[in-house]
Amino acid sequence: MPKPTVLSPSPSTTSSEPLRRLDGWIDEFISYIRFEKGLADNTVMAYRRDLLTWREFCARSRANPADISATQLTSFLESLRAGRPPASRAMSPSSVARMMVSVRALYRFLLREGRVSADPTVTLGVPKQPRSLPKAIPIEDVERLIDLTDDSPLGRRDRAILEVLYGTGLRISELAALDLDDVDLDEGSIRVRSGKGNKARVVPVGRAARKAVGDYLTITRSELVKKRRSRGGTADAALFLNFRGARLSRQGCWKILKTYARSGGMESKVSPHTLRHSFATHMLDAGADIRVVQELLGHASLATTQVYTLVSDQRLREVYLTSHPRAKD
């Protein structure tokens, strides 16, 4: 297999120069995926973390990033699986696969830009990983989770958050990025401008979520804005505010969800995407067209949405086996 080489190497290359060159390459690649491909900030940060792990491997093994062999790449992946440096602990198959995708994307970019003469990852396949089905919770559990909120100001805010997450299928990061002018309660719609790939979409908002958001805007949000102004701050354009009156962060939204899940004895069942998965699964269970669900979720590919059909089929099988008199043991 041909090894990649720098097309115009400097005659004064030192042992640290390959790493400095790699730093520049990573910066170029990050700029490319952020500004030209328009990838979301969280995705960009994930790529950077992965590539800094690759850089650490190159530094520890004294490998030249411009002259990498398949053997060195294999050693990198094996270190990740075993939890050896640069990994701090053994990585799951999905994490190792993601790391390989990041390194491969970097070298494909470098080859296209003429920084290297060959792609060292071309003969390596992405590690196989077991298909993990999205975890949805029953409608009864969703309703119980939402009903744990109270009529306090922050309780009204939290109810609005939970209703919107389940009622629209938004990612937590998308919900945290919503501004006031993204919501039209009269039309019953929300404009999502911060989806993956910065692709905007409009999603409908049902009766329960509209009421919850309306109550929050009427009662709670104005109080939070007053609190911020009393501290000398300016009003934030964000839809959802924290107790200080500033934009509620993605981590803050997840903390709220986790708190109610713990209170309801559902902590082990609930993750940041649980209400999104439940939204999609319950829609398909009720007969929604898969392409409609794809648009609502903001999936670029139908294949991504089709995993939810497996969940629904699994549910149908469970109902059949427990309900049909000739299917029981």
Active-site residue, 276 included: yes
Catalytic residue among 250, 258, 273, 315: 273
The arrangement of strands across the sheet holding 189-192 comes to 183-184, 189-192, 201-204
Active-site residue, 277 included: no
Active-site residue, 308 included: yes
Active-site residue, 98 included: no
Catalytic residue among 157, 159, 228, 299: 299
User: Which residues, at least 6 apart from 292, have a Cβ–Cβ distance to it below 8 Å?
Assistant: 283
Active-site residue, 171 included: yes
Catalytic residue among 104, 196, 250, 258: 196
Distances (CA, A) of 122 to 49, 57, 61, 68, 114: 22, 19, 21, 12, 16
As a dihedral over the C-alpha atoms of residue 4, residue 10, residue 13, residue 18, rounded to 10 degrees, the angle is -40
Task: Please calculate the CA angle 100-102-108 and round it to the nearest 5 degrees.
Answer: 100
Catalytic residue among 156, 171, 228, 282: 171
Residues classed as catalytic: 171, 196, 273, 276, 299, 308
